[in-house]
Homo-oligomer: A and B are copies of this chain.
């Protein structure tokens, strides 16, 4: 993770060919680099023109309730977004990585609705709100990418709710791992070998469980042959069964521990449109 900064300089598909419309592509064009970042591509040298901020591991970049001055785009490192109760208990809403936005939930109220803590040494691009407006109107492409990214966040929160909604700790953990795997794949990394950047506590909070339950669930999944777990390194041995396990809605194992309990139907690709399922309506 520390080596991530090394790449900051490389990867030069230069020329701001990204901004089709108005960007006359002067020297650098910060939003071109940001655009690339938002789309998951690699960074540009020109990115330095934007304020880059280092965030040491464990420190809070955003504070819940604080007045919003900037939003951030993660350049390197992973964060957790949290809601902290006044008694100190913190709820982990999501884990964010490179290309994700931080602080966007503050646009409506002017105050951050959640905090953000770096799970490891990280670097972010700071976007002061007024400059954000300027950037949006300077580049339609950037504007669209931004909106799309916010939309993706919305999607993510839905996925998180889905993970939390499962009955049975095993299933929640399975869902979490499937989501993590999917994200890694989208990021171009291995979908099988996961290095967890967060502790059991954070996972537990994110899934609405006790951290001991995370350990136990990992144990169950390992015993079921779905995983191999070594501290924070997780190897998915049987992704198909893990996904099937993640689909379990009701109580889990009707037999052994994690014996692929609720055998889901043969996994037919969900239709894109108009799923018949009689539950569409409800009166």
> Which residues of A come within 8 Å of B, CB atoms?
57-60, 63-67, 83-91, 93, 104-109, 111, 113-115, 117, 133, 136-137, 140, 143-144, 147-155, 157-162, 164-167, 201-202, 204-205, 207-211, 213, 247, 249-250, 264-265, 267-283
* A275-B153 in contact given A162-B83, A208-B283 (Cβ < 8 Å): no
* CA of A168 to CA of B137, assembled, Å: 47
* A91-B161 in contact given A154-B105, A280-B204 (Cβ < 8 Å): yes
Cross-interface CB contact of A275 among B63, B143, B276, B283, cutoff 8 Å: B63
Instruction: Select from chain B the residue with minimum beta-carbon distance to A106.
Output: B151
Q: Which 6 A-B pairs have the closest CB atoms?
A: A208-B281, A107-B151, A157-B157, A108-B152, A58-B283, A105-B154
Residues of B within 8 A of A210 (CB): 280
Q: A91, B60: Cβ atoms under 8 Å?
A: no
* CA of A204 to CA of B165, assembled, Å: 10
Q: B154, A153: Cβ atoms under 8 Å?
A: yes
Q: A89, B154: Cβ atoms under 8 Å?
A: no
Instruction: Select from chain B the residue with minimum beta-carbon distance to A86.
Output: B267
Task: Give 12 pairs: A residue, B residue, CB < 8 Å, sorted on A.
Answer: A66-B274, A83-B158, A83-B161, A84-B277, A89-B250, A107-B150, A108-B148, A154-B154, A161-B164, A165-B283, A167-B283, A208-B282
Q: A281, B117: Cβ atoms under 8 Å?
A: yes
* CA of A270 to CA of B268, assembled, Å: 48
Q: B162, A90: Cβ atoms under 8 Å?
A: no
Interface centre among A84, A106, A204, A209 (most CB of B within 10 A): A84
A252 to chain B, nearest CB (A): 12
A56 to chain B, nearest CB (A): 10
Instruction: Select from chain B the residue with minimum beta-carbon distance to A110.
Output: B148
* A65-B273 in contact given A104-B151, A154-B104 (Cβ < 8 Å): yes
Q: B269, A65: Cβ atoms under 8 Å?
A: yes
* CA of A59 to CA of B152, assembled, Å: 26
* CA of A211 to CA of B277, assembled, Å: 9
Q: B277, A90: Cβ atoms under 8 Å?
A: yes
